[in-house]
Amino acid sequence: MGLLQILLFLSAGASIALSAARFPVIQDLPIQESIAARFQDIDPSFRLPKSTVPTHYAVHLKTTVHDADTAFHGSVDIHLDVVEPTDKITLHSRDLEINSAALTHVQDTGLIQLYEPTSTYDDRNEQLTFHFSSTLETGSYVLSITFNGFLLRYDRMGFLRKSYRDNAGITRYLAVTHFEPTGARMAFPCYDEPTSRATFTVSINHHKSYNAIANMPQDGPVIEDWEDPNYVTTIFAKTPKMSTYLLAFVVSDFQTLSAGQQLIHARPNAIQDAEFSLNAGVKILQKLREYTGVAYYDYLPKIAQIAVPDWFSGAMENWGLVTYSESGLLYNADVNTYRVKVSAITTIAHEYTHQWFGDLVSVDWGHLWMKEGFATLYGYYIARSTYSDDLYMDLFQLNGVHQALAQDSSVSTRPMNWYANTAAEIYGLFDTVAYQKAGSVLNMFRVVFGDENWQRGLNAYLQKHALSSATPEDLYAAVASAVDPPEAMTVEQIMESWTEAAGYPVLNVRRDYNKNTVLISQERFLSNSREPSDHVWYIPYNFADQKRQDFTLDTFNWITKKADEFEVDIESDQWVIFNRQQFGLYRVNYDSQNWEMLVQAMIQNPNSIHRINRAQLIDDAFNLARADLLDFSVVLRLLTALTQEQAYLPWAAADKVLSYLNTKLRGTVHQQQFERYVESLITTAYHTLKTDSVAADETLEDKYFKQLISTWACRIDHADCRQKARATFEAEVYASSKVAPDIQTVSYCYGVQRATDDEFLWLYRRMFSSKNEAERSLIINALGCVESSEQLKAFLTSSIGAGVGVEVNYSDRERTQVLQAVYSAGRAGVDALIEFLNNWDMADDLIYWLEQPAFNSAIANIASRTNSAEELDRLNELLKTVGTLAPAGVVNAALATVKANMDWYDSLEGLVVAEFFEQYV
């Protein structure tokens, strides 16, 4: 039996027939950075009429998901007030079959049934309208609707069916909700807008072998179904007033752990990995209660977390029942790396922050930053205060500030406040602007206004708008009540200059070394164009200089016009750095003389500069150079300071630069010179590390630093790194000497890279037998590192294989991850993927199993890794083979990418880089 046959046999447990079944196409809503920028024109028809408002929903559902059945049946009594006389009631609904509807008038004398209305449906705006033969006067009514629907198997939003394998290999199914932003209408007709808050009671009829959970605790014992004793109904207590997208319920055979009023749910063969996150949740909720000054349990009696298998959506902050992917919540110290632990902590802190920002106080879709920005910031801030480790805020700089600066620099980006019309447009608002940019802007305000003042302002905001919705003006007013703004400025003016403007500024600093003055000016930073902008940001700034080296965040000045000039007490031969600890969301560019002094300081005395600012200098210089605002040689000389760098944050900033250069120079005449350059940067750091073991006293920063340095060492074929990775991997394969989880990423990837078929199969079996999603993910990525074309093609084939009557041992998400792991690891994977897809039948199978977007992404990623005429020939041959399987737009974009790659060598940047490496010693 060959390698491919063995892999498929392991996956399916039976003989294999490729394409034995077809998956229906996933109808996901697209996530695009600039999607909302096209839809600022307001079309009020997409919002519900204001003539009626909901007050309460009584939702009843029946599911037979235990049998894998996707059909569900339901009814809802919508208690509503008519606030303006009307002859119709309009709700949201999507993909539901309406069976009946009746309207009852609530009067002092009792309930009076009025009508069985007619209905119409507008597919464009997903609105279901009930029409009445006479006008409904103001007052209270109950609209009762019965309906049918289907659990969705592949969507990321709505009422979903998921599955897992138990210890006997039997597939078990569950029903779970994910309603944000417009998915509640897929489970029951409703007023599906976040500011239309109401109370809910939920009851669910399900098989007695399963259990049901929801936002609120169970209200009394389950009730046996009088028609079928195999079914029971679980009834839940009434919720506070909340948005429809926060309603949540799950029907499963999961088990539960508890700690006081906190619970955690997971499948029975993973519940043992849930204890860490249960305890983390207890600590984090308490820290948030202390920080906000508002007690969670004043509003809900419990909070639960649930780990959902094969979950595409990361996590969701449903009030009282937070859903997570398993890899984002479950942590097992015996098999999971430190990164899984960090991810669990920051994700819990993010979702728990939402219990206040978004759940207790809701916001309209156009102001998503008022919940997602707070959750992004406090996901890291509360993690730091809970676990007393500054690295969490370093990670915020990387994953928040640096990412926001990188993604918010195009001309098509949108402001933080932005309107959207359709469901697809609303989905598109969940982007870097709503998360990373907003979190970074809020942190800037927190620092400038002072954390204690900021806390008082947030407390006022939460107290005043609890169980209601708020606008940006409400937030500004609450902050203003606790803050003394600078003279001639208001809090609203300051904050609006950031929330109403697209993009962010670059602060240009030009020194007059003779007069000892500094001229600062602001303009919008754009990475790939020059567009004039007359917008003026209210920019807080401060600076440190070589003499004082003061990087504390205790003083701030403001620039509220295009330019300003002032005197400084700084010697002409001493550097200056603006934006201490990079508290502000803006880049800084200096005159050439100051840049030269900063380069020398970084090389000769890096500790004279705060580690956050060392990272800032690298990140700013790189992006300024990419935008043709700085000579790229400044970036390359700045990086030579890394020979003395022992802090993770500057190295993480440099990692993006080195990865960019590695992509550009791989396979060219400069690759060897680049690798010598990298080796010179990492040598000192590498020899301080024990890359084949984990010491008991290693800090979190030590672990991040070790993985980054050892990854680069092995990537450039450093002999010691390769030998240790191989040795630790072989020791586990042949001597059962387990590789410590915290070094598995490097050990497995570079240990298996040149593995025999038996060794490759050993690692594959590890993945196959693991019940831990995060461990499986790590191993899938490692298997993509192999260099054998046959092993890689067998691995790719296994992801689209199907057993006869037995499902493949991959989740839907893992199938796509196999593809990503192969093309991401190196050119060997790209070439193997080309060979694999250079067969029309295989390409067709991949599209059916992994869906068209995965295939399109594969073509795009092959193109982005194509640097030479020979590699272009291989891509063209592939495109010819697959023909119309690749959409014309995808093909044109791929060829444009290759052209840009090859044109780079003749660009100014490419020539500067080439010259630098030719002369570098």
Query: In 35-109, at which residue ranges do the beta strands (DSSP E only) sit?
Result: 52-63, 71-82, 86-92, 97-107
Amino acid 805: pLDDT = 34
Has 351 been annotated as catalytic?
Answer: yes
Say how far apart CA 442 and CA 604 lie, in whole Å.
35
Say how far apart CA 799 and CA 819 lie, in whole Å.
8
Say how far apart CA 744 and CA 740 lie, in whole Å.
6
Contact (CB, 8 A) for 533 and 497? no
Amino acid 387: pLDDT = 97
Indicate the range of 15-29, 47-61, 338-352, 401-415 predicted with least confidence: 15-29
Amino acid 6: pLDDT = 56
Phi, psi of 615 (to 5 degrees): -65, -40
DSSP states along 650-678 = HHHHHHHHHHHHHHHHTTSTTHHHHHHHH
Q: What is the mean pLDDT of residues 328-338?
A: 97
Answer whether residue 33 shows pLDDT above 60: no
Kindly state the tokens that stand for 902. Answer: 């090859």
Contact (CB, 8 A) for 367 and 355? no
* Cis peptide bond prior to 217, omega within 30° of 0: no
Answer whether residue 21 shows pLDDT above 60: no
Q: What is the mean pLDDT of residues 243-252?
A: 98
pLDDT band at 36 (very low <50, low <70, confident <90, very high): very low
Answer whether residue 32 shows pLDDT above 60: no
pLDDT band at 153 (very low <50, low <70, confident <90, very high): confident
Cα R_g (the chain), whole angstroms:
29
**Nearest Cα residue to 265 out of 301, 307, 293, 235:** 307
**Residue 388 CB neighbours (<10 A):** 7
Specify which residues 306 forms β-bridges with: 265, 323
pLDDT band at 19 (very low <50, low <70, confident <90, very high): very low
Distance of alpha carbon 429 from its chain centroid, rounded? 13
Say how far apart CA 157 and CA 343 lie, in whole Å.
23
Distance of alpha carbon 239 from its chain centroid, rounded? 28
Answer whether residue 388 shows pLDDT above 80: yes
Interacting residues of 311 by C-beta distance below 8 A, sequence separation 6+: 162, 323, 324, 325, 326, 328, 813
Specify which residues 564 forms β-bridges with: 520
pLDDT band at 41 (very low <50, low <70, confident <90, very high): confident
Percent of the chain having pLDDT more than 70? 95
Contact (CB, 8 A) for 162 and 174? yes
Contact (CB, 8 A) for 795 and 11? no
Task: Determine the Cα angle at 396 with ends 522 and 610, to 5°.
Answer: 70
Q: Read off the pLDDT of residues 500-535 as tens digits, 9 standing for 90 and up.
A: 999 999 999 999 999 999 999 999 999 988 888 899
The Cα-based distances of 595 to 584, 616, 645, 911 in angstroms read 20, 13, 19, 21
Kindly state the tokens that stand for 494. Answer: 């300051």
- 3-class SS of residue 470: strand
Residue spans of alpha helices (H) in 539-691: 592-604, 611-626, 632-639, 648-665, 671-686
Say how far apart CA 420 and CA 425 lie, in whole Å.
5
Q: Read off the pLDDT of residues 597-651 as tens digits, 9 standing for 90 and up.
A: 999 999 999 999 999 999 999 999 999 999 999 999 999 999 999 999 999 999 9
pLDDT band at 487 (very low <50, low <70, confident <90, very high): confident
The distance between the two most distant Cα atoms of the chain, rounded to a whole number of Å, is 93
Say how far apart CA 863 and CA 896 lie, in whole Å.
9
Say how far apart CA 515 and CA 212 lie, in whole Å.
74
pLDDT band at 350 (very low <50, low <70, confident <90, very high): very high
Task: Determine the Cα angle at 249 with ends 245 and 254, to 5°.
Answer: 145
pLDDT band at 35 (very low <50, low <70, confident <90, very high): very low
Instruction: Tally the C-alpha atoms within 13 A of residue 671's C-alpha that lie toward its C-beta.
Output: 13
Amino acid 808: pLDDT = 62
Percent of the chain having pLDDT more than 90? 89
Answer whether residue 23 shows pLDDT above 80: no
Q: What is the dihedral of CA 722, 725, 729, 730, to 10 degrees?
A: 50
Say how far apart CA 598 and CA 614 lie, in whole Å.
10
* Catalytic position from the list 351, 372, 732, 759: 351
Amino acid 622: pLDDT = 98
Kindly state the tokens that stand for 826. Answer: 């190196």
Answer whether residue 8 shows pLDDT above 60: no
Say how far apart CA 921 and CA 911 lie, in whole Å.
18
pLDDT band at 11 (very low <50, low <70, confident <90, very high): low
Answer whether residue 72 shows pLDDT above 60: yes
Sign of torsion, CA 670 675 676 678?
Answer: positive
Phi-psi region of 214 (alpha: psi -120 to 50; beta: other; left: phi over 0): beta
Residue whose token pair is 């007490």: 569
Amino acid 533: pLDDT = 87
Residue whose token pair is 């700085």: 630
Instruction: Tally the C-alpha atoms within 13 A of residue 362's C-alpha that lie toward its C-beta.
Output: 24
Q: What's the burial of 486, exposed, middle or buried (CB within 10 Å: 0-12/13-18/19+)? A: middle
Q: Read off the pLDDT of residues 270-299 as tens digits, 9 standing for 90 and up.
A: 999 999 999 999 999 999 999 999 999 999
pLDDT band at 7 (very low <50, low <70, confident <90, very high): low
Indicate the range of 24-38, 551-565, 579-593 predicted with least confidence: 24-38
